Structure 1
Amino acid sequence: MRVAVIGHVEWIEFVRVARVPAAGDIVHARDTWEGPGGGGAVAAAQLARLADDCIFFTALGDDDLGARARRELSALGLRLEAATRPGRQRRGLTFVDDTGERTITVIGERLAPHAADPLAWDLLTDCDAVYVTAGDPDALRLARRARKLVTTARISALLRAAGIEVDALVGSAHDPAERYAPGDLHPPPRLVVRTAGAAGGTYEALGHAPRPYPAAPLPGPVADAYGCGDSFAAGLTYALGAGLDPDDAVRLAARCGAAALTGRGPHGGQLDRSTL
């Protein structure tokens, strides 16, 4: 099975604290770590674990952090197709509190791959499934060459500009930036999935009423909520590419989201195909 991600990378510094500081507070870090995160990088790493390989189309800064991100993403087993942008790599600071909840501040412009970048876009033609978190309209049109195309609801404006149909749109039931309502996109997505954390979520096939799905049991203690939604989206992309029906696809995706909650950082708890 061949899968790909078109998306963005953020170099994330994590700080574990008892609680997120209120205005004017001083809190002490219990632990710190860092690594390449962002929705594109998290999803690509999860897909690589499920499919044994993943092509990751992205863009990186031309500074030391961009070069480090390139090395570490390649070390995760990704086939990296990365354009270089002048300037600094986008960064992020993430607080992880005692409940495992993450609070994120991003720093700098989101760097996204464009269809005009000299990348191996022809590889998309042979892909069973592609997930997109960032790009330009022409990159989305190239992604539509894949058998299944899944995107985050955060790029709804980009989808409107591209004017393409997606097989699945993934968003949060709680995050206003990921809301989708009927009529927002033309043509409409074939499947809309809304996540709701521990409450599970809903999925809605085109022309049908929404149906609930349960959250998956946690395979271990809660560690860090960073990347759970992106791991869920990667699991959904893999499942649809493998030919699973929506009911089974959201259940596998929920397992990926639950597994991510039990690991540290962007990739620590992600589900491996050997555990399916």
Structure 2
Amino acid sequence: MSIDLAVVGSINADITAVTSRLPATGETVGGGRLLRSPGGKGANQAAAAARLGARTRMIGAVGRDASGQAMKRALDRAGVDRRDVAEVDVETGTALIMVDAQGENQIAVCEGANARVHLDEVEFAADEAVLTQLEISMDLVSELAVRVPGYFAVNAAPALPLPAEVVQRADLIIVNETEYFLLPQLEEARLVAVTYGSRGSSLLARDEQIAFAEALPKAPVSTVGAGDAFAAALTIALRTGLRPERALRAANAVGAAAVMDAAAQPALDPFEVYLDGDD
């Protein structure tokens, strides 16, 4: 697969507690299992894209700490070019995650080094797709909207109002159904992918549905990395020229594979494995 992808975004150390159920406000739930793993929406999407077969580079920042070194090693293992990952004098970003027996989650993010991501000396090629998210500063996302000469995709998560120039510039905006509801401005976007969990996903062009694909039935182990794997896969699928419905089906298949892995950066097969036979 001949796709070049730059991911600009967050890199986090994930600290996950797996419990039988998620606690209510003020409640303590015992009997949990603790996991430490690489994460961050940017790094998750970069790792997924590289494992799917795209030539992927990561633009982000980590601290000069043990977590930062571990996050860089994780990108290396996934096959991501990390030469544009800066080391800065604050702690590496951290996500505190709780996952229940059904794979549902709650996440709190401490941005740390992610607040220091910048584009100094970074250049983008016209044939290079760029994928970003909202765990970095909105000023940086706006700068990308101006500087990226080629395909520009935005995963608008967490749900924050987007500058008008970002909505107008983006070739693709990816959200879940809650984020779409919270961001009515997306009704004016040229192309929006909306995920509905177990109900599938759709593509909307200026709020008109142009494609829909059913989800693959799975009993999830964890949904933490599924949205990021979906975002990477859909960006790749559309850049390879797949028609909208087939692109959605492939991205749904990648997301379904991701929910069967507890890691935020799950093991994935090459992209071609997730394609159906419908040309």
Superposition TM-score tier, normalisation by shorter sequence: 0.7 to 0.9
State the SS of the aligned residue for 1:111.
helix
Any idea what the Cα deviations from partners look like across 1:149-198, whole Å, max 9, x if unmatched? 2111237645435575111111111247x7332xx269x43211111100
> Partners in 2 of 1:269 and 1:224 — Cα distance?
13
* Separation in 2, partners of 1:162, 1:233: 17
CA distance change for structure 1 residues 159 and 234 in 2, over 3 Å: closer, same or farther?
farther
Q: Partners of 1:108 and 1:207 in 2: how far apart?
A: 32
Q: Distance in 1 between matches of 2:59 and 2:162?
A: 17
Matches within 5 A, 1:1-150: 1-22=3-24, 23-29=26-32, 31-80=33-82, 81-109=84-112, 110-111=114-115, 113-115=117-119, 117-118=120-121, 121-127=122-128, 129-133=129-133, 134=136, 136=140, 137-143=142-148, 145-146=149-150, 148-150=151-153
Residues 1:160 and 2:159 aligned together: no
Q: 1:235 to 1:159 in 2, by over 3 A?
A: farther
Q: What is the distance in 1 between the residues matched to 2:226 and 2:63?
A: 25
> How many positions carry a matched residue from both structures?
263
Find the aligned partners of 1:125 and 1:74 in 2 and give their Cα distance. 25
TM-score by length of 1: 0.84
Question: For 1:158 and 1:85, how far apart are their aligned partners in 2?
Answer: 27
Return the offset for 1:44. Answer: 0.7
The answer to whether residue 220 in structure 2 is matched with residue 222 in structure 1 is yes
* Shift in alpha-carbon separation, 1:209–1:260, aligned structure 2, 3 A: closer
CA RMSD of aligned residues (A): 2.5
In the aligned structure 1, how far is the partner of 2:77 from the partner of 2:37? 12
Match of 1:198 in 2: 198
The answer to which of 154-163 and 237-246 deviates more is 154-163
Aligned to 2:277: none
Question: How far apart are residue 125 of structure 1 and its match?
Answer: 3.0
Paired residue type of 1:235: A
Letter in 2 for 1:131: L
Structure 2 CA distance for aligned equivalents of residues 213 and 26 of structure 1: 37
User: Which aligned segments of 4 or more residues in structure 1 are displaced greater than 6 angstroms?
Assistant: none
> Superposed, which structure 2 residues align to 1:176-187 within 5 Å?
179-181=182-184, 184=185
Confirm or deny: 8 A CA contact 1:13 1:35 kept in the other structure: yes
Q: Mean Cα displacement is larger for which, 62-71 or 32-41?
A: 62-71
- State the SS of the aligned residue for 1:104: strand
Identity within the alignment, %? 26
What is the Cα deviation at residue 95 of structure 1? 1.3
